[in-house]
Amino acid sequence: MYFDSLQQLIFMDGHGIYVWSALVISLAVLAGLIIMPLCQKKHELKNIKLHIKLQQVKQNTIQTEESDAPHS
Amino acid sequence: MQWTWFHRLGSPRWFYQKTQRWLPWLSVITLSLLIIGLVWGLAFAPQDAKQGNSFRIIYIHVPASVVALAGYYVMAVAGAVGLVWRIKLSYMMMRSAAPIGAALTFIALVTGAIWGKPTWGAYWVWDARITSMLILLFLYLGVMALRYTYSSNEAADKASAILSLVGMVNVPIIYKSVDWWQTLHQPATIKFTSAPSMHPDMLMPLVVMIVGFYAFYTLSLVLYARAEILRREYRASWVKQLVTAKFAEK
């Protein structure tokens, strides 16, 4: 390691606050770039599941109406 | 020559299924590169003779800036392919590239501002390089916002693609801004045309971080594109089969 101690690594001769804050902000944004699409995918999967269920209900209703209709 | 691979590449179904297998590998590669690059750059690289330890911000600032600029080409080329060949997947890629590019430009601007304080004594200056990067952020945000201004996907895609292509003029301006104008911003550290101005001990972790950011970009782009494919292709039978099978497993 370039630094003699962990304390020196954290402090970085007074520049630690700049380096570590830049790192924390960047890592938070990068984490967002992974979490957000995963949440979007989850949301879309739920929507599609709902869409499929609605279609099934519609089809069942039409079939029931057709079978209940009086034969002429 | 067989062109079937090109047509398959444009298929959202093929892309979704293939990337399912790529994702674990891509995640491992990205994480390894970023961890190695960060530990190497922050703890093991020597400090800069003039800037001291604040120069270590370079290991985030430069990779984010490089990939934010390259990402603009990805977005614009995807938009152009969509306009010319009407390939659905290319528009999806264009849409997916916009938030990633905006976030990386944001990182470049914020880390640059933090680096500016100990180096120049100010967080922000209306410098040619910094201002043109801010315009890049607005271009990315513009492409993202266009999605919500049209009710039809097709019209929004076309408008976004045109904005992406027009905005491409800004990218070479950003690259050359440090040469064309008198700026506070230092000249490029790594150039294709000349030897790098850094000591190899400082340069190597930077190269690892740049490759790591490219890997991260690819990973995030694939994740966004997969979500976008589901959003647009919800009526496709393969998507319905996939969802039915997925929820049947639970």
Relative orientation angle of helices B12-39 and B58-85, to the nearest 10 degrees:
170
- The answer on pLDDT for B16 being more than 70 is yes
**Residue B247, Cβ density class (10 Å: 0-12 exposed, 13-18 middle, ≥19 buried):** middle
- The alpha carbon torsion through B78, B24, B69, A33 (nearest 10 deg) reads 100
| Chain B contact probe: residue of A15, A42, A59 with most B CBs at under 10 A | A15
pLDDT, mean of residues A39-60:
93
Other C-beta atoms closer than 10 Å to the C-beta of A64 total: 10
Q: Which helix (H) or strand (E) holds B149?
A: none
Residues 6+ apart with CB under 8 A from B114: A18, A21, A22, A25, B57, B123
Residues in A closer than 8 angstroms to B16, CB to CB, are: none
B78: pLDDT confidence band, cut at 50, 70 and 90?
very high
B168 touches B175 (CB < 8 A): no
Whether chain A has a CB inside 8 Å of the CB on B49: the answer is no
SS (H, E, C) A7-35: HHHHHHHHCHHHHHHHHHHHHHHHHHHHH
Average pLDDT, chain B: 90
CA-only gyration radius of chain B, Å: 20
User: CB of B129 within 8 A of CB of B113?
Assistant: no
User: Touching check for A38 and chain B: CB below 8 Å?
Assistant: yes
Q: Which amino acid is present at B244?
A: T
In this prediction, what percent of chain B has a pLDDT beyond 90? 65
Q: For A37-51, B13-27, B63-77, B232-246, which range has the lowest pLDDT when averaged over its residues?
A: B232-246
pLDDT in tens, B130-154: 999 999 999 999 999 998 888 888 8
Shortest distance, CA B39 to any CA of chain A (angstroms): 10
Burial class (CB in 10 A: 0-12, 13-18, 19+), B36: middle
Per-residue pLDDT reduced to its tens digit, B203-227: 999 999 999 999 999 999 999 999 9
State the DSSP code for B124.
-
The yes-or-no verdict on residue B190 having pLDDT over 80 is no
The ipTM estimated for the assembled molecules is 0.91
| Per-residue pLDDT at B2 | 64
Closest alpha carbon to A41 in B6, B75, B232: B232
